[in-house]
Amino acid sequence: MRLNQAQSLIISAKKRFLPKSLFGRFLTIIIAPTILLQLIVTYQFYARHWESVSRNLTAALGGEIAAIVKIYETTPPDQVRPLFALTYRYMGLDVHVVPKAPIEMNTMYASGALAQLATTLKGHFFYPFSIHYTKWLFSDVRVVIGLPDNNIEILVVSKRLENPTTYIFILWMAGSAIILLAVAIIFLKNQIRAIQRLAIAADKFGKGQDLKTFRPHGATEVRRAGTALIQMKERIARQVAQRTEMLAGISHDLRTPLTRMKLQIELLKKKDMPIEALERLQGDITEMEKMVESYLLFAKGEGSEKPINVQWSAMIEKWVQGYDLHGKKISLIIENEGYISLRYNSLKRAFTNVVNNALREAETIRITTNYQANFATVIIEDDGPGIPLEKREEVFRPFVRLAPGRNLDSGGNGLGLTISRDIVLGHGGDILLEESELGGLKVVIKIPV
């Protein structure tokens, strides 16, 4: 149980902190080991080299300062100045005797080297002293020692305390990491660009758009994926063409006997056949014709139509104005406007199927259009009987009608919503059925911008 909880926490942490994009993950894979390696190397360098060198430097400098103090204490005043001149010449220590003044001993030091020097000096004498940089960090160091009669001020160049190779080493490591990161970013962007183009091509293919400008490029694996996408598109196009040709032939074969049946009805009208039987037969023939047309439209798809750019809400408004309402009410609400690329006639067929269903079942229809950054939406609501929740997915299946006893004029042939959903999905969007505030059905059509 605890193991499962630990695994869950690890997975949750990965999802939370791991970058979402492929580019970010590639950079993490490159940067994380580099930084870890540099930290390990820096620590080892500091622990084994820098610290020991710094300790030796401060020990040597502390001994020289203690020697200067001892010389001052044991040498006659008239001989002190020549000796201090020698310390400057051979040790690089600029020593001056200054008037007596109070000294505030440091308790906090700007760097570890000053702290080590203070520890060393405490081991050599008990006089009060102060140590500080003259200007800023890593500049020259001033050491002031309070003797009984005077103070000694010693100016020490920074290289006596700080090892310059340490900072050169750190700069080299930081510089090499920055150069590595820059080169990695340049190469990664080129590789990610190929994957992004492949994703865009796959998205266009899913929306039925043209892929003539797409050419596989990039790494071998990305090229293989791009080539597979093109081959899949060609196979699907061939299958759609074969299906369309086959159904077109079936439709033609069905229309021929239907035409003969119409002629026979015209001949029967001249005889004594009851008019009711003739009307029923005529209605059956009309229904068969409409069914054949619907089957053909559903089967052949919309792959041959090219997308065009249109104003979303203006297009919906134009479609709504073309309806003959027969006393029913349709209201249109336009919330935003924008341009979108779509297959005009196919989407009009999807919209018409939904609105026709609403006109058959309801008296009042409300249509709302909205255009946002990612999706263009049209919502068709009515005050009809609606569709039960458990039946809302079933009505998208071909040839499914909620009321099988209804005739074609009232209930359709069971392909309206199926065709509409097929068209909307072909645009990369979705169609949803919900409950309307008007009391009936709410159909939401979302098309990606």
Summarised one tens digit per residue, pLDDT across range 258-273 is 776 777 677 666 666 6
Nearest to 347 by CA among 302, 298, 388, 381: 302
Rg (CA), the chain: 44
Determine the Cα–Cα distance for residues 42 and 64; give it in Å rounded to an integer.
31
Q: Are strands 364-371 and 329-334 parallel, antiparallel or unpaired?
A: parallel
Average pLDDT over residues 105-126: 79
Summarised one tens digit per residue, pLDDT across range 162-171 is 766 666 777 7
Determine the Cα–Cα distance for residues 48 and 40; give it in Å rounded to an integer.
12
**377 has pLDDT over 90:** yes
Q: Are 433 and 414 in contact (CB under 8 A)?
A: no
pLDDT of residue 13: 58
Q: What is the DSSP annotation of 192-220?
A: HHHHHHHHHHHHHHHTT---TT----SSH
Higher-pLDDT residue of 280, 154: 154
215 — pLDDT class (breaks 50, 70, 90): confident
- Of 61-75, 83-97, 101-115, least confident by mean pLDDT is 101-115
Return the CATH class of domain 308-448: alpha beta
**379 has pLDDT over 90:** yes
Summarised one tens digit per residue, pLDDT across range 239-256 is 666 666 666 666 666 666
Return mean pLDDT, the chain: 77
pLDDT of residue 444: 93
Percentage of the chain with pLDDT > 90? 5
Domain ranges of the chain: 23-162, 221-300, 308-448
pLDDT of residue 14: 59
Higher-pLDDT residue of 133, 278: 133
Summarised one tens digit per residue, pLDDT across range 173-209 is 778 778 878 887 888 787 788 888 888 888 777 766 6
For 433, the token pair is 């059925």
Average pLDDT over residues 207-234: 77
- Does residue 398 sit in helix, strand or coil? coil
- Of 17-21, 56-60, 335-339, 342-346, least confident by mean pLDDT is 17-21
Average pLDDT over residues 129-154: 83
**Domain 221-300, second-level architecture:** Orthogonal Bundle (1.10)
Summarised one tens digit per residue, pLDDT across range 401-424 is 665 433 334 445 567 788 888 888
97 — pLDDT class (breaks 50, 70, 90): confident
Higher-pLDDT residue of 59, 305: 59
Distances (CA, A) of 9 to 6, 17, 24, 241, 308: 5, 12, 22, 51, 49
**326 has pLDDT over 50:** yes
Determine the Cα–Cα distance for residues 147 and 177; give it in Å rounded to an integer.
50
307 — pLDDT class (breaks 50, 70, 90): confident
Rounded to an integer, what is the distance from CA 368 to the centroid of its chain? 30
pLDDT of residue 45: 67
For 23-162, CATH number out of 3.30.428.10, 3.90.850.10, 3.30.450.300, 3.20.20.70 equals: 3.30.450.300
Q: Which of 222-231, 256-265, 432-441 is most confident?
A: 432-441
Kindly tell me the number of DSSP H helices and DSSP E strands found in the chain: 12, 11
